[in-house]
Structure 1
Amino acid sequence: MTNRNQIEIVALSFLSVCFCLGMSLGVTIRFGRIQESNATATEIPPFSPDSIPSLGDEEQTITIKAVGDIIPGTNFPDHRLPGNPNQLLPQSVRSYLQEADILFGNFESSLTNHPYSAKDISRGQTFAFRSPPAYAQLFAEAGFDVLNIANNHTMDFGIVGFKDTVKNLEAAGIKTLGHKNQILYLEANQIPIAMIGFTTYDLYNSVHNLEAAQALVKEAKNNAKIVIVSMQVGAEGTSALHVKDKTEYFYGENRGNSLKFARIMIDTGADLILGHGPHVPRAMEVYKGKIIAYSLGNFLGYRTLATNAQTAYSMILEVKINSEGKLVSSKIIPVHLNRQGIPQIDQYFRTVGLLRYLNNHDFPDSNLAINNKGEIVVLNQETD
């Protein structure tokens, strides 16, 4: 056999290996994303703890990325929409939203063409937001899997607008969270996951009804390996930066006790708490080995949300959890909103500095620290 023939055989063998490897990687990427379980809130998903295959020394994990409040502009009562919707989520930001098994946000608008608002916006500090239904595809293309709708704006255009919002998001492949008595069952990397959304209104799952909230978390924990709780709790604005162990009020509304609610949810079985609603970032803590993010701040508020001072400080929170619900790693990807309320990756790490200050002030004895890369470091892994 000539040297040339030998070289050709070796080359063909190498290409075959690369092709097989490429096919394997393609399958891994194709099926590594989140899959919805067929279970409903009252059904038990087909899983048992023994059904998860062992991967030997490789630890099974899921990666959750979460952002805060989202309003992609409004066409009510006047036109405040961008000329090109794609500018709402710049590519530099989208790239940091990738590689998550679950990408979550709090959607505080309605996706409808319904002409009549359910709110009297002539009253002071009363706002109604309506965004084009086609914007649902914008968030699907950015990678969002789940959007919370349990908040004070999804019903801005009544039940018609609410149903349109849910229909348009789900038509784009985005699950909606926060419906009354809902437990959203999902699966990622062969790990069963449950998500529950809470807010301060009885129309949804209410943070004020602790007994009902605990019952939902217990049911979720019986049927899934990981339970994620979303909560819209607390007062709003730059005067509401701090976590306080007391009931908060905003314009006379009881906005709940975020610290009490979050800790009780973890005591009951939750593995991660994602807070939103105050429109500013708040401190984080590790409680019994689980992360509580008390507020993720604003993420997108095109010509709708304030962007002064800390209302422009934002983040993408990344949390990696193993199949037993234990924290593996976490980090803050700092974001800053420009004057129009469009998110930009923040090279100055302003949100990281703010969270360090808030953590030191609100939880001075905490075992959570944030390094200069935005990575969350747990100084003591004890969970009791």
Structure 2
Amino acid sequence: MCKSVIQQEVNKEEDDEDIGTLSRIHHSSELLCIMRSRILNPKVYQSTFILSCILSISKAEERPHALNTLYQSLKIKQDRTDTCPRERLVPKMSGITNGSYRKLYGTDSTVMRTSQNISVFMVGDVMLGRGIDNILSMSCDPKLYESYVKDANVYVTLAIRANGPLPPKDERKVDYVWGDAIDILASEQPDVKIINLETSVTTSATPWPYKGINYRMHPSNVGVITSANIDCCVLSNNHVIDWGYSGLDETLKVLRNSGLRTCGAGNDIDDARKPAIIDVPHKKGRILVFGIGDGSSGIPVAWKAKKSQSGVNYVDVGSEAELTKIREQVNGIKKPGDIAVMSVHWGGNWGYEIKKEHKQFAHNLIDTCNIDVIHGHSSHHPKAVEIYNGKLILYGAGDFINDYEGIGRSDYTMFRHDLSLMYFAKFDVNSGEVKELKMVPTQIKKLRVNRADEKDVQYLFEIMKKECGMFNLEVNREGDVLVLNVKSQ
């Protein structure tokens, strides 16, 4: 389209409702140019004209981009003037009916700007084996091969001794262990839910030799995971092959047959490297979850998947060759509008120190591999959060569900394996930058997730304020929720 036609549109008076110009335009790029020019006109734009521009775009897949152009232009207009209040800019577009919105997006919505963000729920280790498995509807053989404990029911007994009896078995629903997390998830309504599933799901009776601690959950209990509507189970950890390769093969089969996406382990190296791909409702975009595990977390190198051997996606975080492979893989899959999450099992179970090589690896993933989010886990307690170049890094999400509560509670000067955080993050669908991070404190008690009490909320607040402060980030407390000030970096 020639510049003269665009200039004519810019010069139109406010009361000009002539939409005939649209019939002379054949390309969406030209429509967007006119639309943006009209919005940025010093005079208040005519919303009927703007809506007609969008509806005139013949290709439905291009309409979301048009809406984004509209939204960004509205923000520019608001920034340029103090004489045109926001309510004169947005309400005319907010008056679009759901019927019109369906023409634009193919779905109903009451707030168009929400399409700019994707919300993701992440937690660390979900350990549904051993003591947890033994309070569920169907349990594996409780025999253990640990140095001191030989029966999984001992962990149940210790938990009862610490916090009192559990509800009767016939009163424990399939989602019992999730406890208060179910209501919290219902309140937050994240688009995607990601966990590190740190157990095998198998009846295999052959433990990995000399490992000492072996987790497994009976396959009949897979409904515990689906009851929370989990979207992705990350398996690149040091417990997924606790019961041998046959145990891993059964784990993959059970999870996938139950409709659960997996990443980080597979039937061969190609399968283990595949990301879980999650389409986000309302055509916002996709979440790509890649799973990797480092030997520093205790993953045996023998578990590394090969061309003809199942296993985990084992990596060396200090290797430039690993970064090259990741970069090539991500760039071959990621599309505009995708948010790429690297879920990595790394480091020891205790301590707040962030290893230099882990920090550098996280930065390299963001700088050179097109990764938007680092979902770190392995530590049994929450660790620091960093925002690097606008991208979110969780260095250690902590244990979320475990059977440790009766083992012995550390005092408040040490580490707390019974406390955790539910991470709710919002990401800009276009840039991948984090726009919000809320952390909800929880505690394991009676082998289920509970909202943390006042004392423990304050404890976690002080910990996160200190640890995130190392990265020049502020953490604020809003009631029982911790909120990261993403603009404080």
Query: What's the TM-score once normalised by structure 1's chain length?
Result: 0.74
**Which whole-Å deviations, capped at 9, do the CAs of 1:314-365 have from their partners, x for residues lacking one?**
0110001121112221100111122x54321113273664354355356535
Counterpart of 1:366, as a letter, is N
Which residue of structure 2 aligns with residue 330 of structure 1? 437
Which residue of structure 1 aligns with residue 475 of structure 2? 369
Q: 1:52 to 1:225 in 2, by over 3 A?
A: farther
Q: Distance in 1 between matches of 2:455 and 2:226?
A: 27
Structure having greater relative contact order (Cα 8 Å, sep ≥ 6) = 1
Q: Distance in 2 between matches of 1:365 and 1:100?
A: 26
Counterpart of 1:194, as a letter, is L
- Which of 208, 213, 229 is 1:143 aligned to? 229
- Which of 118, 126, 130 is 1:62 aligned to? 118
Which residue of structure 1 aligns with residue 247 of structure 2? 161
User: Would you say the 8 A contact 1:76–1:129 is kept in 2?
Assistant: no
Q: Distance in 1 between matches of 2:173 and 2:206?
A: 24
- Which of 423, 429, 445 is 1:317 aligned to? 423
Q: Distance in 2 between matches of 1:243 and 1:370?
A: 22
Q: 1:350 to 1:221 in 2, by over 3 A?
A: farther
Tell me the secondary structure at the aligned position of residue 227 of structure 2.
Answer: helix
User: Would you say the 8 A contact 2:214–2:239 is kept in 1?
Assistant: yes
Q: 1:298 to 1:271 in 2, by over 3 A?
A: same
Tell me the secondary structure at the aligned position of residue 218 of structure 1.
Answer: helix
1:198 and 2:295 are equivalent in the alignment: no
**Which whole-Å deviations, capped at 9, do the CAs of 1:231-252 have from their partners, x for residues lacking one?**
1111112xx222232xxxxxxx
1:265 and 2:365 are equivalent in the alignment: yes
Q: Distance in 2 between matches of 1:91 and 1:54?
A: 43
Q: Distance in 1 between matches of 2:438 and 2:258?
A: 29
Counterpart of 2:294, as a letter, is T
Tell me the secondary structure at the aligned position of residue 237 of structure 2.
Answer: coil
Counterpart of 1:322, as a letter, is D
1:118 and 2:208 are equivalent in the alignment: yes
Query: What is the Cα-based RMSD across aligned positions, in Å?
Result: 2.8
User: Would you say the 8 A contact 2:405–2:444 is kept in 1?
Assistant: no
Counterpart of 1:316, as a letter, is M
Q: 1:159 to 1:52 in 2, by over 3 A?
A: farther
Which residue of structure 1 aligns with residue 399 of structure 2? 298
1:1-384 → structure 2 map (5 Å cutoff): 52=64, 54-55=66-67, 56-57=70-71, 58-59=112-113, 60=115, 61-74=117-130, 75-77=142-144, 78-80=151-153, 83=169, 84=172, 86=174, 88-98=176-186, 99-121=189-211, 126-179=212-265, 180-189=272-281, 190=283, 191-201=285-295, 202-203=304-305, 204-208=313-317, 209-222=322-335, 225-237=338-350, 240-245=351-356, 257-268=357-368, 269-302=370-403, 308-309=409-410, 310-324=416-430, 325-338=432-445, 341-348=447-454, 350=456, 353-354=459-460, 356-361=462-467, 363-372=469-478, 373-380=481-488
Which residue of structure 1 aligns with residue 161 of structure 2? none
Tell me the secondary structure at the aligned position of residue 370 of structure 1.
Answer: strand
Q: 1:279 to 1:91 in 2, by over 3 A?
A: closer
User: Would you say the 8 A contact 1:147–1:174 is kept in 2?
Assistant: yes
User: Would you say the 8 A contact 1:280–1:314 is kept in 2?
Assistant: yes
Q: Distance in 2 between matches of 1:307 and 1:344?
A: 18
Q: 1:365 to 1:196 in 2, by over 3 A?
A: closer
Q: Distance in 1 between matches of 2:375 and 2:339?
A: 14
Q: 1:318 to 1:111 in 2, by over 3 A?
A: same
1:195 shift after superposition: 1.3
Counterpart of 1:218, as a letter, is N
Counterpart of 2:220, as a letter, is A
User: Would you say the 8 A contact 1:97–1:143 is kept in 2?
Assistant: no
1:258 shift after superposition: 2.3
**Which whole-Å deviations, capped at 9, do the CAs of 1:205-250 have from their partners, x for residues lacking one?**
414333323333333434762111101111112xx222232xxxxx
User: Would you say the 8 A contact 1:228–1:271 is kept in 2?
Assistant: yes
Q: Distance in 1 between matches of 2:263 and 2:467?
A: 32
Q: Distance in 1 between matches of 2:341 and 2:323?
A: 16
**Structure 2 unmatched ranges of 5 or more:** 1-60, 72-111, 131-141, 145-150, 157-165, 266-271, 296-303, 306-312, 411-415
Tell me the secondary structure at the aligned position of residue 176 of structure 1.
Answer: strand
Tell me the secondary structure at the aligned position of residue 211 of structure 1.
Answer: helix
Counterpart of 1:242, as a letter, is E
User: Would you say the 8 A contact 1:337–1:344 is kept in 2?
Assistant: yes
Count residues in correspondence: 316
Query: What's the TM-score once normalised by structure 2's chain length?
Result: 0.59
Q: Distance in 2 between matches of 1:306 and 1:199?
A: 27
Between 145-154 and 297-306, the greater mean CA deviation after superposition: 297-306
Q: 1:306 to 1:194 in 2, by over 3 A?
A: farther
User: Would you say the 8 A contact 1:282–1:355 is kept in 2?
Assistant: no
Counterpart of 1:192, as a letter, is R
Q: Distance in 1 between matches of 2:341 and 2:377?
A: 14
Q: Distance in 2 between matches of 1:170 and 1:348?
A: 39
Q: Please identify which structure carries the higher helix content.
A: 2
Which residue of structure 2 aligns with residue 27 of structure 1? none
Q: 1:150 to 1:106 in 2, by over 3 A?
A: same
Q: 1:67 to 1:138 in 2, by over 3 A?
A: same
Tell me the secondary structure at the aligned position of residue 230 of structure 2.
Answer: coil
Q: Distance in 2 between matches of 1:345 and 1:108?
A: 22
